[in-house]
Amino acid sequence: MVTLLIPRFMSILLVCLSSLSAIQGSYDQAYAKEILGSANRDRDWLVSIRRKIHENPELRFEEHNTSALIRSELDKLGISYTYPLAKTGLVAQIGSGSPPVVALRADMDALPLQELVEWEHKSKNRGKMHGCGHDAHTTMLLGAAKLLNQRKDNLKGTVRLIFQPAEEGGAGASHMIKEGALGDSEAIFGMHVSYTAATGSIETLPGPVLAAVSFFEAKIVGKGGHAAEPHTSVDPVLAASFTMLALQQLISREVDPLESQVLSVTYVRGGTASNIIPSYVEIGGTLRSLTTEGLHQLQHRVKEVIEGQAAVHRCKAYIDMREEDMPPYPACVNDETLHRHVDRVGRILLGPENVKVANKVMAGEDFAFYQELIPGVMLSIGIRNETVGSIHSPHSPHFFLDEDVLPVGAALHTALAEIYLNDHQHAIGL
């Protein structure tokens, strides 16, 4: 019986492998040309959408006009969506409605920053600017919605397109998750523009890629008095000075040097006169770690050190980890299997020479909240173009975008989802 089954099993296996090779082989230069060609034909539309968003930047949870613009375009395309989630967010859905389900995500919020780039489509909202490329992220995902909708009859599953508010400090992803944005998604992809990578290229990396991040502030309270009589005071300036030095030793003396953590005290406030010892001093800053566990340990020790140093100098410390207004973000960790998928799709679409290894960065990204629940990849998509001035880092008032990235990103989103569904539909069929 066993002898009879072996030839039959081998025949089935050969058929399956042959089918798999046919599916993988179908994604070639012709496929890339088709997807990129469709995206490039939409370039003018993409640019117009991005410029409308750029001219009217909105801060976290205030993205009402941005959301309305997205919904208007989805309505024109006949794409269904759920709204609102997390106040201004929405989720569009394209495909069969059946598994497998893959998610694509873009963030919509701007920065509290005054744009210093003088051009026709400069921000009209004073003190607000799309200085991190979220206008491009939103536009590229909207472009993918259009492409996927054109190709929906060929989708072997379902794509959920997540337009998310409040990435910049508001943990919008966590709010979207609580309100059901992921649905039955089994994988998720996101991309962020990179000013160090050339336009037309991408960068990806498995494992930790962006840091877990939190913020802190402390009020060290002593007893004020005249500087000529320091013995009658309890000096919070001295206590704050020792506290800041002690905090720096947490990284240099308590963290494994092979791990990556950052502790930066970014401000000190106290006193207004040169002859008066103030009654209190305020300090604050940020904590970062490439592991979420490392961030939790660092938060714990920061509290202990601040309280201990204050006590040594006869002061009291009141510490706020700012979890209400600046929620801590977990580390962004890219799934190994999905990383290989991104690498493969990038090579098909853009060519092997345009797929690079990403660098780990100690910035935070609330995309990590999605990755805590399902496998995901956050990749970088290049925008560097010295000719047009796309050379400045995010969060710079001089940040400027090479708009040639828009069709590239739309096509890449489309291919990542389409090929993922095709591959995994085949697996389900087995």
Residues 161, 90: contact at Cβ < 8 Å? no
Cα 278 from Cα 275, distance rounded (Å): 9
Q: Determine how many CB atoms are found less than 10 A away from the CB of residue 413.
A: 29
pLDDT of residue 427: 55
Q: Is the pLDDT of residue 110 over 90?
A: yes
Phi-psi region of 389 (alpha: psi -120 to 50; beta: other; left: phi over 0): left
- Which residues make beta-bridge pairs with 90? 163
pTM assigned to the model: 0.91
**Tens-digit pLDDT profile for residues 240-273:** 999 999 999 999 999 999 999 999 999 999 999 9
Q: Is the pLDDT of residue 163 over 70?
A: yes
Q: Is 395 annotated as a binding residue?
A: yes
Cα 385 from Cα 261, distance rounded (Å): 32
Residues 244, 264: contact at Cβ < 8 Å? no
Q: Is 315 annotated as a binding residue?
A: no
Q: Is the pLDDT of residue 18 over 80?
A: no
Q: Is the pLDDT of residue 24 over 60?
A: no
Q: Is 339 annotated as a binding residue?
A: no
pLDDT of residue 425: 83
Q: Is 134 annotated as a binding residue?
A: yes
**Tens-digit pLDDT profile for residues 74-109:** 999 999 999 999 999 999 999 999 999 999 999 999
**Tens-digit pLDDT profile for residues 346-396:** 999 999 999 999 999 999 999 999 999 999 999 999 999 999 999 999 999
Q: Is 192 annotated as a binding residue?
A: yes
Domains in the chain (CATH in brackets) are: 26-210+331-429 (3.40.630.10), 213-320 (3.30.70.360)
Q: Determine how many CB atoms are found less than 10 A away from the CB of residue 335.
A: 18
pLDDT of residue 426: 55
Q: Which residues contact 208 (CB under 8 A, 6 or more apart)?
A: 290, 291, 331, 332, 333, 334, 360
